[in-house]
Structure 1
Amino acid sequence: MAGIYESKLTTRVDFPARARAVASIPSLLRVQGFLSAHARRQHNPGICDFTLGNPHQMPQEAYVAALREQLEPRNESWFAYKTNGAEAQVAAAQSLRRLLEIPFEPEDIHLTTGGFTAIAMAMKAVADPGDEVVYSLPPWFLYEPIITEAGLVPVKVRINPDSFDLDLMAIASAITPRTRVVIVNSPNNPTGRIYPETLLVKLAEMLDLASERNGRRIYLLSDEAYNRIVYDGARFHSPAEYYPYTLLAYSYGKTHLAPGQRVGYLALPPAMPDRDVLREILSALQVAMGWIYPNALLQYALPALETFTIDVGQLQRKRDRLYEELTGMGYRLHRPEGSFYLFVHSPVADDEAFTESLAARNVYVLPGVLFETPGFFRISLTANEEMVERSLPAFAEAIRLAGVG
Structure 2
Amino acid sequence: MAIATVSSRMLATAEERRTLRQFVQRVVSERGFGPDACDFTFGNPQEPPLRGLVEALIRHAEPRGVHWFAYITHNPVAREAVARSLRQARGRPYQAADIAITAGGFGALAAALLAVLEPGDEVLYPRPGWFLYGGLTRAAGGTPVPVDLVPGSFDLDLGAIAAAIGPRTRVVVVNTPHNPTGRIFPRAQLDALAGLLAEASERHGKVIYLLADEPYARIVFDGHVHISPAESYPHTLVAYSYGKVLLAPGERLGWLALCPDMPEADRVALRDAVELAQMSHGWAFAGQTLQRALPELEGLCIDVTALQRRRDRMVEGLRAAGYEVAVPEGTFYLVPHAPEADDVAFAARLAAGDVWVLPGSVAEMPGRFRISLTATDAMVERALPVFARVMRAVRG
TM-score strictly above 0.5: yes
Partner of 1:5: none
Q: Which residue of 1 aligns with 2:19?
A: 30
TM-superposed CA distance for 1:155, in Å, is 0.8
Check conservation: 1:340, 1:381, Cα contact below 8 A.
Answer: yes
Q: Which residue of 2 aligns with 1:269?
A: 259
User: Deviating runs (4+, > 3 A) in structure 1?
Assistant: 11-22, 32-43
Aligned residues: 392
Secondary structure in 1 matching 2:244: helix
Aligned to 1:208, which of 177, 195, 198? 198
Asked if 1:71 corresponds to 2:70, the answer is: no
**Where do residues 10-29 of structure 1 align in structure 2 (5 Å cutoff)?**
12=3, 14-22=5-13, 25-29=14-18
Correspondence 1:383 to 2:372: no
2:243–2:253 contact (8 Å) kept in structure 1 = yes
CA distance in 2, matches of 1:35, 1:77: 43
Task: Give the TM-score normalised by structure 1.
Answer: 0.93
Query: What corresponds to 2:146 in structure 1?
Result: 156
Change in Cα spacing, 1:120 to 1:214, as seen in structure 2 (3 Å) is: same
| Residues 10 and 135 in structure 2, CA contact (< 8 A), matched pair in contact too | no
> Which secondary structure state, in structure 2, belongs to the residue aligned with residue 201 of structure 1?
helix
Q: Deviations over 1:146-179 (max 9, x none)?
A: 1112221111121111211111111111111111
Alignment map for 1:114-153 (pairs within 5 Å) = 114-153=104-143
Which residues of 2 match residues 241-390 of structure 1 at below 5 A? 241-273=231-263, 274-390=266-382
Q: What CA distance in whole angstroms lies between the structure 1 residues aligned with 2:250 and 2:351? A: 25
Question: In the alignment, which residue of structure 2 is the partner of 1:239?
Answer: 229
Query: Is the Cα contact below 8 Å between 1:27 and 1:372 reproduced in 2?
Result: no
Deviations 1:171-219 (A, max 9, x none): 1111111111111111111101111111111111111112122222111
- Structure 2 gaps of 5+ residues are none
Summarize the Cα distance change of 1:48–1:14 in structure 2 as closer, same or farther, 3 Å threshold.
closer
Q: Which whole-Å CA distance do the structure 2 matches of 1:365 and 1:28 have between them?
A: 16
Q: Sequence identity, in percent?
A: 51
- Give the 5 Å matches for 1:151-230: 151-230=141-220
Contact 1:27–1:371 (8 Å) recurs in 2:
no
Give the C-alpha shift of residue 251 in structure 1.
Answer: 0.5
Q: Quick one: distance in 2 between partners of 1:17 and 1:403? A: 43
SS where residue 254 of structure 1 aligns?
Answer: coil
Shift of 1:42: 5.6
Q: d(CA) in 1 for partners of 2:71 and 2:141?
A: 30
- The code of the aligned residue for 2:74 comes to N
Q: Deviations over 1:57-90 (max 9, x none)?
A: 1111111111111122111111111210011001
Distance 2:134 2:32 in 1: 26
1:121 Cα deviation after fit: 1.1
Distance 2:225 2:68 in 1: 39
In structure 2, how many angstroms separate the alpha carbons of the residues matched to 1:45 and 1:216? 56
One-letter amino acid of the structure 2 residue matched with residue 222 of structure 1: A
Offset at residue 369 of structure 1 (A): 0.7
Are residues 1:49 and 2:24 paired? no
CA distance in 1, matches of 2:244, 2:111: 19
**Distance (whole Å) between structure 1 residues aligned to residue 238 and residue 200 of structure 2:** 21
| Gap runs ≥5 in structure 1 | 1-10
| Counterpart amino acid of residue 152 in structure 1 | G
The alpha-carbon deviation at position 41 of structure 1 amounts to 5.5
What is the CA distance between 1:16 and its match in structure 2? 4.0
Distance 1:144 1:53 in 2: 21
**Alpha-carbon separation, structure 1, partners of 2:311 and 2:3:** 49
Alignment match, 1:4: none
RMSD: 1.7
State the Cα deviation string for residues 241-281 of structure 1 (Å, max 9, x = none): 00011110000111100000001111101111211111111
